[in-house]
Amino acid sequence: MINCNKYKRFQFMRINKNLISIILSLSLINYLLLPHLIARQADAQNSVLLSDNFDDGDSDGWEEHTFNGDWFVNNGEYWGTASPSGTISKNSYTVRGDTSWKDYSYSVKVRSEEEDDADKIIFFYFNKDQAAYEVNLRSQYDSSHGNDIVLFKSPNLDTTAGSILSQKNIDNYPKTDYTIKVEARNIGEDVQIKIYVDSKLLIEYTDKKTESNTPIYNGAVGLLVWTQTPHTTAFDDVLVKSLDTPPTPHVEKVILAPGMGASWNTEAILNCKLDRYQGDWTMAPFAEDIYNPLISSLQDNGFQVIPFYYDWRKRIPSHSTNISNLITNLNLGENEKVDFVGHSMGGLVGRAHLENGGNKIYKYISVGSPHQGTALAYPAWYGGEIWNNSLVTKIAATLLIKRCGINHKNNMQTLRKIVPSFQDLLPIYSFLRNKKTEELKGIEANEWLKNSNFPNNGNTIIATLSGTGFDTLENIRTKEPSKKEKKLGLWEEGKPAGKETTTNGDGTVLSKSAKIESVTNFEINQNHGGLVTSQEGINTIISFLKGEPSATSLTVGEEPKSALVMIAYPSTFVSIDPQGKIKRDKHNVVAQINPKSGKYKVGFLPLADESTLLIGQFLKNGDYSWKEYKIKGRLPFAKTIKFDENTLTENSLQ
C-alpha cells in the first residue's frame, strides 16, 4: 500500500505520468498475486501430511506388521494379503505417519479382491500403545450380515478386537473401488469423527471423555487385513491433510428438560426408592431416539446443551431448587442468562421454576406441555391405568407398576405413592361427561395448576410449541364404579365408559392445553414426539431461540412406535438383533426401538449371586407386557428372546 503522507513530505504539486504508471503497475501486481497468496494461506491451514499413490512401485515409509500376511505394491496399488491363522488374536497391518498427528482428514481408495471377502479396513489415530480407531466397509456375508460401515475402537491392534462405536448400513460389493474418508478432530476432551464413503457422510460420532472412557487423541494412519480368512485387499491414493482450526463459535447455553419417563436412575426405579438412592439421573436409554436429534441440532447451531434429568415421579414444583442449583453451577456472568427448552412435563418443570422466582432464564419455550393438564392423567391417578400414547412414558410408568405394585393393594395406590406427579398433570378444565346425564364436569385435584399465575415474570421471553391434527383425548365418558371398586377407592369421580377425541391436539396433549395466553404460541402439524424429532419442530425451537432459522442442516429423527426393552440388574449384558447389530447395556438397560420380528440373542454377566431380568414388549397397536425372571449365580450365560412385532409373545425368553 502507498503511504500518502510520505509523498506529502516531498511537496509534489502534481503527479507525473511515471508515478501514475507505477501506481497502475502495483495495482495490477496486487490484483494478480492476491488470489495466489490466499490460496497459499489456505494450503498452509490444510497442509498435506501424507500423499502416496504407489506409482513409484514401492512402499517406502510404511511400517509393516505382517502377522500371517504380506504387503506389496502391485500395478500402482498397495496390496495386503492374509492367510488363515485359526485365531483373530492378531491382525496384519501397515502404518505410516507420526503418532503426534491430530486433527486431520484421511482418505484411501479400497477394494476387496475376492468375491467372498467382506472386509475393507483402514485405521487412524494409531498411537504408541497400538490403540486406534478402525473403519471397516463390509460387503454382505453369511447371507444376512454386512453391507455396512462400522467404526471400531481398539485398545491394541496387535492383540485385541475392537468394540463397535457406530454402524451404518450401506450396500457395497467385492471387486469394486470405494473411497473411504475420515475426518478426526479433537474438541476439548472429546474426539469428533466423521466418516464418508464416496463423498457421502455416513457416520458422525463423538467419542466423549467420561469416567470410564478415554478417547484416543492422536496418532498415525494405517491399512489392515483381517487374518482369520484368506483374502486380499487393494489400497491406493492415500491422502492425509491437516484440518484447519475452526473459529470459536459464540456459544449460548440452553437447558433441556425431557418429558415424563425420559430420565433414568437404575436404583431409584428398579428398587422403588423415592430418596436415599445412589447415582445421578441420566437419559433413559429408551428415550434417546426422541431427544438426541434435538440435542445434536442445538449443538450444531452453536448452543451448549445442558440436559436437566430429574426424578419425574416427584411433584413438579419440587424441581425448582435443582434447576436453580444447576444454573448456579454454570458460573454465569453477572448479566449472562440461559435459555430453557422443556418437552411435555419438562416444560411444566421449567414453568414451576419461573413461577418460583427464577430470573436467569432469558428465553423459555415449552413443547407439547399440558399447561391446563391432560385427561390422560385421570385413569392413572384415579384407577391405576396407563392410557398414555407416548411410548417413553408408557415404558417407564408400566415398569414402575410391575416393580413396585407388590407393595400396594392396587395399581392406583402404587402410582399415587410412587408417582405423585400424576396429580400435577390432571386437567383444570371440564373433561368428565356423565354417560346418563351428558353433564360435563371438572375436578379440583390439581391445586398447583389451578392456583398457578403464569406467566408472571416479565424478564423472560416465553413461547409455546403445540401440535395439531392428531386424535387426542378431550373428554372421558363416565359411569358409576362397581361396589368393589368403590370399596377400593377406585374411580371416585366416575369410571371411564368411553372416550371423546378431537384432532385439535398432538395425540397426547390438546392444543388449547399446550398454549399460554398472551405469549407467542407456535402450532405445527406434528404429534407429541414429532414436536422434538421432526425438522419442522426442531427448526421452530431453534428459530425462537436464535431469532432466525437454523443456518445448518438439522439432525432429525422419528418417534418410536414400538420397543423391546431388556433390563438386567445387577448385570452387564449385550443384545444382538436379527440383523447382527450389537447393543451394549446403558445403566442396565438395552432398548431395541421399532424392533423387527425375530430372535434377539443376549449375553449376560451377572454381578451378584442373584439378579433380575425384565423383558418388556411394546407393540405398535398399544399392547404391552412385562415379564420378570430371577437369575441365580454369577456365571455368564446366553439366552434368546423371541419378539413378534404384531403379537405379544407369552414366553419370549428361550
Distances (CA, A) of 300 to 197, 330, 336, 629, 641: 22, 21, 21, 43, 38
Higher-pLDDT residue of 8 and 535 is: 535
For residue 248, pLDDT over 90 is answered with no
Buried b (16+ CB within 10 A) or exposed e, 640-654: ebebebeeebeebee
Which is it for strands 231-242 and 48-52: parallel, antiparallel or unpaired?
antiparallel
What is the pLDDT averaged over residues 281-290? 97
Give residue 132's identity as a one-letter amino acid code: A
- CA Rg value for the chain: 31
Give residue 539's identity as a one-letter amino acid code: N
| CA 622 to centroid of chain Cα atoms | 25
What confidence tier does 146 reach under pLDDT thresholds 50, 70, 90? confident
Look at 192-201, 307-316, 466-475 and tell me which has the smallest mean pLDDT.
192-201
The pLDDT assigned to 147 comes to 84
Cell numbers at residue 317, please?
414444583
The pLDDT assigned to 46 comes to 62
**How many CA atoms lie within 13 Å of 545's alpha carbon, on the beta-carbon side?**
33
For residue 24, pLDDT over 60 is answered with no
Average predicted confidence (pLDDT) for the chain: 88
Q: What's the pLDDT tens digit per position in 184-235? A: 999 878 898 999 999 988 888 888 888 889 999 999 999 998 766 678 899 9
Candidates 526, 538, 515; CA nearest to 467 is 526
The pLDDT assigned to 25 comes to 39
Q: What's the pLDDT tens digit per position in 405-448? A: 987 889 999 999 999 999 999 999 999 999 999 999 999 999 99
Higher-pLDDT residue of 159 and 471 is: 471
The pLDDT assigned to 134 comes to 95
Buried b (16+ CB within 10 A) or exposed e, 374-396: bbbbbbbbbbbbbbbbbbbbbbb
What is the pLDDT averaged over residues 495-517? 97
Look at 84-88, 241-245, 316-320, 437-441 and tell me which has the smallest mean pLDDT.
84-88
The span from the CA of 287 to the CA of 263, in Å, is 8
- What share of residues in the chain are helix, strand, coil (percent, to 5)? 25, 35, 40
Cell numbers at residue 39, please?
490460496
The span from the CA of 396 to the CA of 415, in Å, is 12
Beta bridge partners, 73, equal: 78
What string of DSSP letters covers 47-58? Answer: -EEEEE--TTS-
Beta bridge partners, 238, equal: 52
Look at 201-205, 244-248, 389-393 and tell me which has the smallest mean pLDDT.
244-248
Question: Which domains occur in the chain, in start order?
Answer: 51-242 (2.60.120.560), 252-546 (3.40.50.1820), 563-643 (no CATH)
Which is it for strands 178-187 and 190-197: parallel, antiparallel or unpaired?
antiparallel
What is the pLDDT averaged over residues 95-110? 96
The pLDDT assigned to 254 comes to 98
The enclosing H or E element of 188 equals none
What confidence tier does 3 reach under pLDDT thresholds 50, 70, 90? very low
566 in Cβ contact with 615 (< 8 Å): yes
Candidates 259, 277, 282; CA nearest to 267 is 277
The pLDDT assigned to 202 comes to 85
Candidates 238, 231, 236, 229; CA nearest to 73 is 236
| Helix 391-404 / helix 411-418 crossing angle, nearest 10 deg | 110
For residue 27, pLDDT over 60 is answered with no
Q: What's the pLDDT tens digit per position in 516-538? A: 988 899 999 999 999 999 999 99
What is the pLDDT averaged over residues 296-324? 96
What confidence tier does 21 reach under pLDDT thresholds 50, 70, 90? very low
Distances (CA, A) of 643 to 127, 289, 479, 579, 638: 43, 20, 38, 14, 16
The pLDDT assigned to 9 comes to 39
The pLDDT assigned to 86 comes to 54
Candidates 586, 620, 607; CA nearest to 394 is 620
Neighbours of 76 (CB within 10 A): 13
pTM more than 0.75 = no
What confidence tier does 160 reach under pLDDT thresholds 50, 70, 90? low
207 in Cβ contact with 193 (< 8 Å): yes
Higher-pLDDT residue of 111 and 206 is: 111
For the purposes of burial, counting CB atoms within 10 Å of the CB of 603, is it exposed (0-12), middle (13-18) or buried (19 or more)? middle
Place of cell 447389530: 581
What string of DSSP letters covers 299-334? Answer: HHTTEEEEE----TTS-GGGGHHHHHHHHHHTT--T
Three-state SS letters, 545-571: HHCCCCCCCCCCCCCCCCEEEEEEECE
What is the pLDDT averaged over residues 556-581? 93
The enclosing H or E element of 537 equals helix 535-546
For residue 15, pLDDT over 90 is answered with no
What is the pLDDT averaged over residues 302-308? 96
Higher-pLDDT residue of 90 and 514 is: 514
The pLDDT assigned to 312 comes to 98
The pLDDT assigned to 597 comes to 97
Higher-pLDDT residue of 549 and 259 is: 259
The span from the CA of 184 to the CA of 192, in Å, is 6
What confidence tier does 154 reach under pLDDT thresholds 50, 70, 90? very high
What is the pLDDT averaged over residues 126-137? 93
The span from the CA of 346 to the CA of 366, in Å, is 8
Candidates 216, 101, 239, 119; CA nearest to 174 is 119
- Coil, helix or strand at residue 628: strand
- In the 8-state DSSP scheme, what is residue 529? T
- In the 8-state DSSP scheme, what is residue 447? H
The pLDDT assigned to 624 comes to 97
Beta bridge partners, 589, equal: 567, 586
Candidates 427, 463, 430; CA nearest to 447 is 427
The pLDDT assigned to 551 comes to 66
Cell numbers at residue 68, please?
500371517
For the purposes of burial, counting CB atoms within 10 Å of the CB of 112, is it exposed (0-12), middle (13-18) or buried (19 or more)? buried
290 in Cβ contact with 560 (< 8 Å): yes
